[in-house]
């Protein structure tokens, strides 16, 4: 089985694939100071007796990359660590391709393969909304090219920053409010954060979709992913699809392409 590991700023997602099917998935807190031995013990504890035949990984935490490489070098299976110089088959139509995070590249790959390809072989644009530490809204062209996107703070980051800077406000449980008009501080914060981010996403998607229609003559599929997507997605009017495991699916696809290319 293939192990896909997406190391994010807040959480690390590990998924085991049986073919193209997710056979198991775990989400743990990212520890930037973890050693290779600590990571290996964690992985073993989660995987138990699972026979891993390959590993695909990416990291958005530069501090953890040397440790991740050290662990991957110990493994006696084919390994693909996504980063500069590793071909994924995703053209990067941006000013500086090296600035694009590996997670955004493989997520774009999965978005195109799972949602952008039509049964007749033609393609359509995809907009990916990733709800994580940051909120990203990325555009993928009908041939699978990464076209760029928008970056905004994440829901939890914004709430923590507000609680830290405003003396009379505090962190609250993040839940979907029953109405927009909050009758107390907690309800008002929940409305502002959850519904406010839904409005932010809808506004960005509307603008990006208009640019894609002007360029390609067809509207995009809009897909939500990321660990915080269940909190906001139902309040968004612009999102039509959801796939919580989009990034690890992208790692699977990138690993398959990398191994098939013999690189």
- Kindly list the catalytic residues: 103
Higher pLDDT, 157 or 235: 235
pTM, two decimal places: 0.90
Position 90 scores a pLDDT of 94
Is the pLDDT at 64 greater than 90? The verdict is yes
Does residue 84 register a pLDDT over 80? no
pLDDT score for 121: 80
For the residues of the chain, what is the DSSP string, one character each? -EEEEEE-SSEEEEEEEETTEEEEEEEEE--TT--HHHHHHHHHHHHTT----EEEEEES-GGGHHHHHHHHHH-SS-EEE-STT---S--B-SS-GGGS-HHHHHHHHHHIIIIIB-TTS-B--EEEEEESSEEEEEEE-TTS-EEEEEEEE-HHHHHHHHHHH-TT---------S-SS-SSHHHHHHIIIIIHHHHHHHHHHHHHHHHHHHHHSSPPEEEEESTTHHHHGGG-SS--EE-TTHHHHHHHHHHHHHHHTT-
Q: What local confidence, expressed as pLDDT, does residue 161 receive?
A: 81
Q: Specify the pLDDT at position 29.
A: 93
Residue 138 pLDDT > 60, yes or no? yes
- For 222-234, the pLDDT digits (tens) are 999 998 899 899 9
User: Average pLDDT of 45-54?
Assistant: 92
């Amino acid at each position: 089985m293939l192990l896909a590991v997406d190391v994010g700023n807040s959480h690390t997602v590990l998924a085991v694939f049986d073919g193209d099917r997710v056979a198991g998935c775990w989400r743990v807190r990212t520890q930037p100071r973890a050693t290779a031995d600590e990571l290996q013990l964690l992985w073993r504890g989660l995987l138990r007796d699972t026979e891993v035949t390959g590993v695909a990984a990416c990291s958005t935490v530069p501090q953890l990359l040397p440790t991740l490489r050290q662990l991957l070098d110990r493994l006696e299976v084919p390994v693909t660590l996504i980063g500069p110089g590793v071909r994924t088959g995703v053209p990067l139509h941006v000013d500086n391709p090296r600035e694009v995070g590996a997670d955004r590249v493989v997520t774009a790959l999965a978005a195109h393969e799972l949602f952008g390809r039509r049964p007749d072989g033609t393609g359509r644009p995809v907009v990916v909304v990733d709800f994580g530490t940051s909120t990203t809204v990325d555009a993928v062209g009908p041939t699978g090219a990464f076209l760029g996107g928008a970056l905004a703070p994440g829901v939890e980051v914004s709430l923590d920053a507000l609680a830290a800077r405003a003396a009379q406000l505090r962190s609250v449980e993040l839940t979907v409010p029953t109405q927009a008009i909050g009758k107390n501080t907690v309800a008002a914060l929940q409305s502002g954060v959850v519904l406010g981010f839904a409005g932010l996403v809808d506004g960005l998607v509307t603008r990006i979709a208009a640019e894609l229609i002007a360029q390609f003559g067809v509207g995009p599929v809009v897909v939500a992913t990321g660990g915080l997507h269940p909190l906001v997605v139902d309040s968004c009017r612009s999102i039509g699809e959801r796939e919580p495991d989009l990034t690890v699916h992208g790692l699977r696809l990138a690993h398959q392409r990398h191994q098939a290319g013999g690189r």
